[in-house]
A and B are shown apart, each in its own frame.
Chain A
Amino acid sequence: MNKLKSKIKPYVMLLPVMIFIIGIFLTGIIFGLLQSFGYFPAVGLHTLTIKYYKEIIMNANFLSSLKFSFYISFVSSMLSVILGVFFSYVLIFNKKGNNGGLDGMYKLPIMVPHTIAALLIFMLFTQSGLISRVLYTLGIISEMKDFPPLVFDRRGFGIIFAYIWKGLPFITFVTYDILKNINNRYSKIASNLGANNLQIFWYVLLPLLMPTIASGFIIIFAFSFGAFEIPYLLGPSTPKAMPILSYIHYNSINLADRPYAMVMNMCITLCSFVLVGLYLWAFQFIKKYNN
């Protein structure tokens, strides 16, 4: 009896969380998946078909959105990771107690919501924004029009800036403690053996930090790939980011359009899964290689 009890106990403890995870999260994804295959009884669609996938993949609008979203997420996440790790590295050279609060200020953007991040980037980079004003005052531009449109532009600069502003501190936040730890443990040994700072960073710190960097990259990439607010507020009208295109189809008066929205959602989800798969595969590979 007692043995049975202790066997069931962990499942009972997990039950409340699993009600949410299975009841809402998984169910939501599975219903979305079913609808993407055309199973949508609410509007009288009962047969499973891959017609919607075929149509979407042939659609030029969709392809340009997919490319645009991928480009934005990849560039912003990559730059966030590079700058964030670099910033982390710079911070560990601080002497303790040196200028106290200022260094901690970098964490502020983490708690600022994406809607406000969009507002800040807008006020900074729009043609009448602060940067343009500073450039005018310095005499670099003579008219508002001389300042290149960096928000609502087709290259997505505004969106990328906003995601970096949010992503850089996040990466620094997750890597800083670990980097500091590794640095304390191995740096002196390495420099004793004759490595210079660059070699220490490249051959010792970076490889040991890689798992953290990779999971940080995946989190910010997946988020920016599937989030609505920033591309909606700072993006161009064409091409639209995937989540926005998906919402337009979802919100269409014609309910039969919903499967298209679901196909796009599944593409977004699938891309994130592929990324996680790559991550797991890469680390399996590294493990084998090390042994």
Chain B
Amino acid sequence: MKTKIIFKYIIIFFLILPLFLMVGWSIASSWPWPVIIPREFTLRGFAYTLSTSTQGFIILLRSVILSLIVTLITLIISIPAARAIAFYNFRGKTLIKVLILLPLIVPILSVAMGIHLSFIRLGFANNYIGVILIHVIPGIPYGVKILLNIFEINGDKIEIQGRVLGATPLQVMRHITIPLLTPGLIIAGSIIYIISFSQYFITFLIGGGRIVTYSMMLFPFVESGDRTMASAISIIFILSIIIVLIISEKLVGNFYARSSKYYV
């Protein structure tokens, strides 16, 4: 029993320690080897990222909006797909299920390189349209699978009851389907948002370097080993994800808290 607890803390320690190290580096201006605690402190990394003159803040804002759009599109197309798989039997169901889960296994890099030329021809490359389209792909398996689980657990009995009692299909959707789906939408949405916000390579390829997301702003600093800058940008990166997730959870939660009193 004792050894188990020791192992547990060792693992937690190694998972968390690097994050503390990052906080240290983000405010260190002088931290020579072999000192364990930084000697001098600076806020240059945070100032650079959040100042309006370096575009850092604007890039961050644009990336947040980009990933929110990607999340919204992915959720909207995933809901009917998950419903169809949960409640209908049709030809080719297994094949379609496999196809939808396939982006989990096939690297997005091969897909992006294969489709790149067609995107250039269609005018989707080097602009936001192409980047949004390619960002949707890795989110689809998570979106459909998570919502499918929720549909399978809830079943469609409550919706049928609503219809029997005279609700229109739109009312059923607004007052039954979506409120029941909300927990799944929040989880799936969070995962899709994080995946999109973290993409570096496919944004770089399809955006042709012209679409600069926050991930792309971070990459050169990590590459060149500028620890102070890279750490500060990374901390804002993680905080921005947490803030966006908390706000959207609150917004979605509150919106449906009002309507949820009708069922239960």
List CB contacts (< 8 Å) of B202-237 with chain A.
215, 218-219, 222-223, 225, 227, 230-231, 234, 237
Any A CB within 8 A of the CB of B169: no
A-B CB pair tally, cutoff 8 Å: 235
Smallest Cβ-Cβ distance to B235: which chain A residue: A116
Smallest Cβ-Cβ distance to B14: which chain A residue: A165
Contact check, A24 vs B19: say whether CB atoms are below 8 A apart.
no
Contact check, B22 vs A119: say whether CB atoms are below 8 A apart.
yes
List CB contacts (< 8 Å) of A132-177 with chain B.
132-134, 136-137, 144, 165, 168-169
Please tell me the size bucket of the interface on B: 35 or more
Any B CB within 8 A of the CB of A278: no
**Partner pick for B222 among A119, A226, A266, CB 8 A cutoff:** A119
Any B CB within 8 A of the CB of A90: yes
Name which of B7, B117, B218 has the most chain A CB atoms within 10 A of its CB: B117
Given A20-B136, A113-B197, A132-B33, A31 contacting B117 (CB threshold 8 A): yes
Q: A175 CB to closest chain B CB, in angstroms?
A: 14
Any B CB within 8 A of the CB of A211: no
Contact check, B222 vs A268: say whether CB atoms are below 8 A apart.
no
Contact check, B222 vs A144: say whether CB atoms are below 8 A apart.
no
Contact check, A20 vs B137: say whether CB atoms are below 8 A apart.
yes
Given A13-B81, A31-B115, A108-B16, A122 contacting B225 (CB threshold 8 A): yes
**Partner pick for B88 among A10, A17, A20, A261, CB 8 A cutoff:** A10
Chain B residues with CB below 8 A from A111, complex form: 194, 238, 241
Q: A213 CB to closest chain B CB, in angstroms?
A: 16
Smallest Cβ-Cβ distance to A120: which chain B residue: B18
Chain B residues with CB below 8 A from A218, complex form: 105
Contact check, A20 vs B215: say whether CB atoms are below 8 A apart.
no
Given A13-B81, A123-B21, A90 contacting B4 (CB threshold 8 A): yes
List CB contacts (< 8 Å) of B108-133 with chain A.
108-115, 117-118, 133
Any A CB within 8 A of the CB of B49: no
Any A CB within 8 A of the CB of B77: yes
Contact check, A20 vs B8: say whether CB atoms are below 8 A apart.
no
Given A10-B88, A250-B113, A168 contacting B34 (CB threshold 8 A): no
Contact check, B111 vs A87: say whether CB atoms are below 8 A apart.
no
Contact check, B18 vs A123: say whether CB atoms are below 8 A apart.
yes
Any A CB within 8 A of the CB of B44: no
CA distance A103 to B12 in the complex (A): 8
Contact check, B8 vs A91: say whether CB atoms are below 8 A apart.
yes
Contact check, B33 vs A243: say whether CB atoms are below 8 A apart.
no
Smallest Cβ-Cβ distance to A36: which chain B residue: B114
Any B CB within 8 A of the CB of A281: no
Contact check, A30 vs B237: say whether CB atoms are below 8 A apart.
no
Contact check, A233 vs B222: say whether CB atoms are below 8 A apart.
yes
Contact check, A133 vs B140: say whether CB atoms are below 8 A apart.
no
Any A CB within 8 A of the CB of B262: no
Q: Which of B95-103, B157-165, B172-180 forms part of the interface with chain A?
A: B95-103
Contact check, A132 vs B77: say whether CB atoms are below 8 A apart.
no
Given A122-B225, A272-B105, A18 contacting B34 (CB threshold 8 A): no
Interface string of A100-138 (1 = CB under 8 A from B): 001101101101111110111111100010101110110
Contact check, A227 vs B109: say whether CB atoms are below 8 A apart.
yes
Name which of A10, A22, A121, A228 has the most chain B CB atoms within 10 A of its CB: A10
Any A CB within 8 A of the CB of B144: yes
Any B CB within 8 A of the CB of A182: no
Name which of A21, A115, A134, A250 has the most chain B CB atoms within 10 A of its CB: A115
Contact check, A24 vs B137: say whether CB atoms are below 8 A apart.
yes
Chain B residues with CB below 8 A from A268, complex form: 107, 109-110
Any B CB within 8 A of the CB of A29: yes
Smallest Cβ-Cβ distance to A33: which chain B residue: B114
Contact check, A18 vs B96: say whether CB atoms are below 8 A apart.
yes
Contact check, B105 vs A273: say whether CB atoms are below 8 A apart.
yes
**Partner pick for B4 among A93, A124, A128, CB 8 A cutoff:** A93
**Closest 4 pairs (CB-CB, A-B):** A226-B107, A32-B114, A113-B198, A28-B115
Give chain A's interface residues, CB within 8 Å of chain B. 7, 9-14, 16-22, 24-33, 35, 42, 83, 86-87, 90-91, 93, 102-103, 105-106, 108-109, 111-116, 118-124, 128, 130, 132-134, 136-137, 144, 165, 168-169, 218-219, 222-223, 225-229, 233, 243, 246-247, 250, 261-262, 265-266, 268-269, 272-273, 275-276
Can you list 6 residue pairs at the A/B interface with Cβ under 8 Å?
Answer: A18-B99, A20-B133, A20-B136, A24-B137, A91-B8, A105-B16
Beyond known contacts A169-B15, A222-B107: 9 more, CB 8 A cutoff: A13-B80, A16-B77, A24-B115, A31-B115, A32-B111, A122-B222, A123-B18, A246-B109, A276-B105
Give chain B's interface residues, CB within 8 Å of chain A. 1, 4-5, 7-8, 11-12, 14-19, 21-22, 25, 33-36, 76-78, 80-81, 83-85, 88, 90, 96, 99-100, 102-115, 117-118, 133-134, 136-137, 140, 144, 194, 197-198, 200-201, 215, 218-219, 222-223, 225, 227, 230-231, 234, 237-238, 241
